[in-house]
Structures are given as C-alpha cells and as structure tokens.
Structure 1
Amino acid sequence: MAEEYRAKVFKSGNSVALRLPKGLGLKEGTEVLLREEHGEYRFEPIDKPKRKIDLTGIWGAIPDLKLIAPEDRLFEERELNWGPFDERD
C-alpha cells in the first residue's frame, strides 16, 4: 500500500500554496509539474536543463578581452595546392 501524507493549503500573497512534508524527499527549489485529472492532483519533478554560464556580468572586467566582429572573421579566398595529386598540372 502507498504511503499517505497530510499537507495543508495556505494563503501566500494572492495565491494559495501547498506545504509538502519533508518525508516525500523533495529538495528545496525543485520544480514540479502539476496535473489535475478528474479532480485528482498529481505532481512530478521536472528535470532542469543544464545551466549555461552567463558572462555578461563580468563584461569589461578583463581589459584585454576583445570581441571579434563578424566582418573580421571573413577569410580571403586562395587557391589550394594539393601537391602531386593536383590534376591541373
């Protein structure tokens, strides 16, 4: 038989909140997906995507760091020399 827990709904600002027992094993800050099916509520943890590093906060803190403008990334065309396998000779 599944374990049963009691939880209490309370007012939090202009919303209602549900305080879940620690015994459920949820960690603080865990996001959950809540579903209502035929008057029953089900929730499951959402796997968070991996965090990306945001360097905008340190922009300018490294004086020698320079951005490469897209137009500076263009390469001049040149003829390739494939050596003895070149069929143009």
Structure 2
Amino acid sequence: MGEDYKAKIFKSGNSLALRLPKALGLEEGTEMVLREEHGKFTFQPADIAPRKIDVSKFAGKAPWLEPLPREDFDDSPRAWDDPDFPGFR
C-alpha cells in the first residue's frame, strides 16, 4: 500500500479545486480522470491518444521500393466530372 497524503479543497473561480502534493510526481497540465464510487474518489491519468507514426523516412528503410513516375497515374477527365452527367451537382 502507498503513502497517505492530505490535501485541502479550495475555491477557484466558480469551481472547487484540490491542490495535490508535489511528492506525487504529477506534471502540470496532466489530464486526469476522476471517479466517484460509493463516496470514495479515485483519480488516474487520462488515456493518452495514440501517437501518429511518422512514415516520411520509410522509403529510405526500404530501398527496393521506388516511387511511381507521375505519368503512370491516369488523370484524364471522368464522365461524372461533366456538368451534363446525370446526377451532377
């Protein structure tokens, strides 16, 4: 079991706030989830959104991959791009 800490509730604007001891090791701005169960409160750090993977340097790690030349893509006009096409908006 961990250590016990005491904290005091105070008014901050129109809300109540709880000052947490520095000894808990929390960083300023950390988002927390607070739960109340049967009159007891628990809090824990909120789940952090998954980090995005940077694939910008992936091609260097797979030298056998070569970029397709631009002329391999078909950019010709499509029938549905024509204003006379049924359902054109």
**TM-score (normalizing by structure 1):** 0.55
Which residue does the alignment assign to 1:21?
21
Report the identity percentage: 62
Give aligned pairs, total: 56
CA distance in 1, matches of 2:47, 2:22: 20
CA distance in 1, matches of 2:8, 2:51: 33
Which residue does the alignment assign to 1:59?
none
Which residue does the alignment assign to 2:41?
41
CA distance in 2, matches of 1:14, 1:5: 25
What's the offset of the Cα at 1:75?
A: 1.2
Higher-RCO chain (CA-CA 8 Å, sequence separation at least 6): 1
CA distance in 2, matches of 1:28, 1:11: 19
1:47 aligns to what SS in structure 2? Answer: coil
What's the offset of the Cα at 1:19?
A: 0.2
Structure 2 gaps of 5+ residues are 53-73, 78-89
Which residue does the alignment assign to 1:32?
32
Q: For each residue in 1:54-86, what CA deviation from the matched residue of structure 2 results, as whole angstroms up to 9, or x when unmatched?
A: xxxxxxxxxxxxxxxxxxxx8117xxxxxxxxx
CA distance in 1, matches of 2:21, 2:34: 16
Which residue does the alignment assign to 2:82?
none
CA RMSD of aligned residues (A): 2.3
AA of the residue aligned to 2:49: P
**TM-score (normalizing by structure 2):** 0.55
CA distance in 1, matches of 2:27, 2:2: 21
